[in-house]
């Protein structure tokens, strides 16, 4: 069971709405210097070094960068920022031994080629106390700056300003959160792919029966559920036959599996919208994905999948939502073979009167 709730707390500020985050920022004290912001020198995931996954709490620790979060308000403006301008910040020490230690960094929106270079500077301000000033180097980004409070070693809360060249004296724009530790609800595509290939396990047929929501994975955020369906045993003529050995071959321990449509959903962003109905569920052919080990188990209530999009009809539906597609190792995990994939999660749905164990 996921230990992360949806409450706005200092431990989980990514759940805070605008007013809550503003209040939390004002109440919080920065307890670490800018040096604490320094990330791993490696951007590739190195399990146990710059990245780890706790299956018990379903939490990811990611020191490759600080993942950015906007306030949690579910309104149009915020959704545009969340999906279109999701970002990370990354920091490193300047390699110049003759100077006093300098912390450099960059801000990178996931869906862009922008790398806004900056410097992280320890400051003490009358209004905020100790903080870290993020001073951007190049035009046009130097028209903005940030003031960050590091409230624990893996969590920071910041405020972005239109710059007046004085820390904390600009025109405030919005508050944001930076975190190196987050739940699977905020996984990136790299997180999803690594968990699929190295942490998730093959499914047994009896583990998958029940109702599920399907959510797509982007670097910025998960989609809302786009499909709700039921995995159930079915007649051989209407179902995929699964063997207990994890494939469709073999003569012993066979069971049949089919997916039954319950309800569809909508994906909307930046003026584009797509509906997903029973036809989408049929085209995904999820029982066949289970049979070839393309859906794997993270926990009893959470599964992760990679769909090969080559020639798949759903690819056309996602042309306006390219943040949800991913180039990289496919279902086989071979790095030398780059494929276009659709990473997704299946989250079990419980009846209202059923208590989770």
Look at residue 46 and tell me if it is in a domain: yes
User: Residue 163 maps to which CATH number?
Assistant: 2.40.128
Asked if 261 and 278 touch (Cβ cutoff 8 Å), the reply is yes
Q: Which two tokens stand for residue 151?
A: 């409230």
- Torsion (CA) 125, 21, 154, 149 in degrees, nearest 10: 0
316 vs 24 pLDDT, higher one: 24
Return the pLDDT at 78: 80
Co-location of 153 and 75 in the same domain: yes
Confidence of residue 51 (pLDDT cuts 50, 70, 90): very high
Confidence of residue 330 (pLDDT cuts 50, 70, 90): low
Query: Looking at residue 154, what DSSP letter applies?
Result: T
Return the pLDDT at 5: 55
Q: Which residue pairs from 121-130 have beta carbons closer than 8 angstroms and sit at least 24 positions apart in sequence?
A: 121/34, 121/167, 122/33, 122/34, 123/147, 123/167, 123/168, 125/167, 125/168, 127/168, 128/30, 128/168, 129/29, 129/30, 130/29, 130/30
Asked if 262 and 229 touch (Cβ cutoff 8 Å), the reply is yes
- The answer, yes or no, to whether residue 250 has pLDDT greater than 50, is no
Co-location of 146 and 31 in the same domain: yes
Co-location of 293 and 335 in the same domain: yes
- Classified as helix, coil or strand, 280 is helix
Co-location of 152 and 20 in the same domain: yes
Return the pLDDT at 6: 80
Return the pLDDT at 2: 39
Which residue among 158, 184, 210 closes a domain? 184
The rounded distance, in Å, linking the Cα atoms of 240 and 256 is: 5
What average pLDDT does this structure show over 31-39?
97
Co-location of 177 and 94 in the same domain: yes
Look at residue 103 and tell me if it is in a domain: yes
Co-location of 94 and 229 in the same domain: no
| pTM: predicted TM-score of the whole model, two decimal places | 0.89
Cα 8 vs. chain centroid, distance in angstroms?
A: 18
Look at residue 218 and tell me if it is in a domain: yes
Look at residue 357 and tell me if it is in a domain: no
Q: Which of 147, 150, 73, 86 is nearest to 112 (CA)?
A: 86
Q: Which two tokens stand for residue 154?
A: 């893996």
The rounded distance, in Å, linking the Cα atoms of 120 and 252 is: 62
Return the pLDDT at 319: 87
Co-location of 228 and 152 in the same domain: no
Segment 203-216, tens digit of pLDDT: 988 899 999 999 99
Q: Which two tokens stand for residue 328?
A: 């990289």
Question: Cα dist. 60→9, 43, 184 in Å?
Answer: 18, 15, 7
184 vs 339 pLDDT, higher one: 184
Look at residue 7 and tell me if it is in a domain: no
Co-location of 323 and 229 in the same domain: yes
Q: Say if residue 140 is preceded by a cis peptide, omega within 30 of 0.
A: yes
**Among residues of the chain, what percentage have pLDDT more than 90?**
71
How do beta strands 210-216 and 227-232 pair? Answer: antiparallel
Tokens 């999906």 -> residue: 83
Query: Looking at residue 219, what DSSP letter applies?
Result: S
The rounded distance, in Å, linking the Cα atoms of 10 and 295 is: 35
What average pLDDT does this structure show over 190-196?
97
For 262, the domain range is 187-349
The rounded distance, in Å, linking the Cα atoms of 271 and 142 is: 30
Co-location of 179 and 312 in the same domain: no
Look at residue 8 and tell me if it is in a domain: no
- The answer, yes or no, to whether residue 281 has pLDDT greater than 70, is yes
Co-location of 204 and 150 in the same domain: no
Q: What's the Rg (C-alpha) of the chain?
A: 22
Co-location of 136 and 281 in the same domain: no
Return the pLDDT at 333: 62
Co-location of 139 and 262 in the same domain: no
Return the pLDDT at 289: 95
Return the pLDDT at 101: 84
User: How many domains would you assign to the chain?
Assistant: 2
Look at residue 4 and tell me if it is in a domain: no
Which residue among 184, 217, 235 closes a domain? 184
Which residue among 151, 184, 217 closes a domain? 184
Look at residue 1 and tell me if it is in a domain: no
Question: Cα dist. 334→193, 203, 290 in Å?
Answer: 12, 21, 19
- The answer, yes or no, to whether residue 239 has pLDDT greater than 70, is no
The rounded distance, in Å, linking the Cα atoms of 59 and 181 is: 7
Q: Which two tokens stand for residue 347?
A: 């989250």
């Amino acid at each position: 069971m996921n230990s992360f709730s949806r409450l706005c707390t200092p431990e989980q500020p990514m759940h805070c709405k605008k007013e809550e985050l503003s209040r939390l920022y004002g109440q919080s004290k920065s307890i670490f210097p800018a040096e604490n912001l320094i990330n791993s020198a490696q951007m590739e995931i190195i399990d146990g070094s710059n990245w780890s996954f706790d299956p018990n709490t379903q939490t990811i620790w990611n020191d490759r960068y600080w993942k950015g979060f906007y306030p949690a308000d579910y309104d149009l403006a915020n959704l545009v920022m969340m999906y279109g301008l999701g970002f990370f910040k990354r920091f490193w020490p300047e390699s110049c031994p003759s100077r006093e230690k300098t912390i450099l960094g960059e801000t990178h929106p996931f869906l862009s080629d922008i790398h806004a270079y900056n410097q992280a500077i320890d400051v003490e301000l009358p209004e905020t106390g100790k903080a870290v000033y993020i001073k951007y180097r190049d035009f046009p980004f130097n028209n903005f700056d940030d003031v960050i409070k590091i409230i624990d070693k893996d969590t920071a809360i910041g405020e972005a300003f239109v710059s007046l060249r004085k820390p904390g004296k600009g025109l405030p724009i919005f508050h944001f959160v930076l975190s190196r530790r987050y739940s699977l609800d905020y996984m990136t595509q790299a997180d999803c792919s690594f968990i699929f290939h190295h942490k998730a396990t093959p499914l047994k047929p009896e583990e998958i029966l029940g109702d599920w929501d399907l959510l797509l994975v982007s670097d910025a955020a998960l989609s809302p559920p786009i499909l709700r369906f039921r995995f159930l045993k079915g007649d051989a003529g209407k179902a995929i036959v699964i063997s207990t050995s994890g494939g469709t071959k073999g003569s012993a321990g066979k069971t049949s599996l089919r997916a039954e449509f319950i309800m569809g959903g909508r994906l909307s962003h930046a003026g584009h919208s797509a509906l997903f109905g029973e036809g989408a569920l049929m085209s995904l052919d999820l029982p066949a994905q289970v049979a070839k080990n393309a859906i794997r188990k993270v926990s009893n209530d959470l599964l992760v999948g990679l769909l090969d999009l080559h020639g798949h009809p759903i690819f056309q539906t996602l042309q306006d939502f390219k943040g949800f597609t991913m180039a990289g190792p496919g279902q086989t995990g071979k790095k030398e073979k780059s494929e276009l994939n659709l990473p997704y999660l299946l989250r079990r749905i419980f009846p209202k009167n059923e208590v989770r164990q």
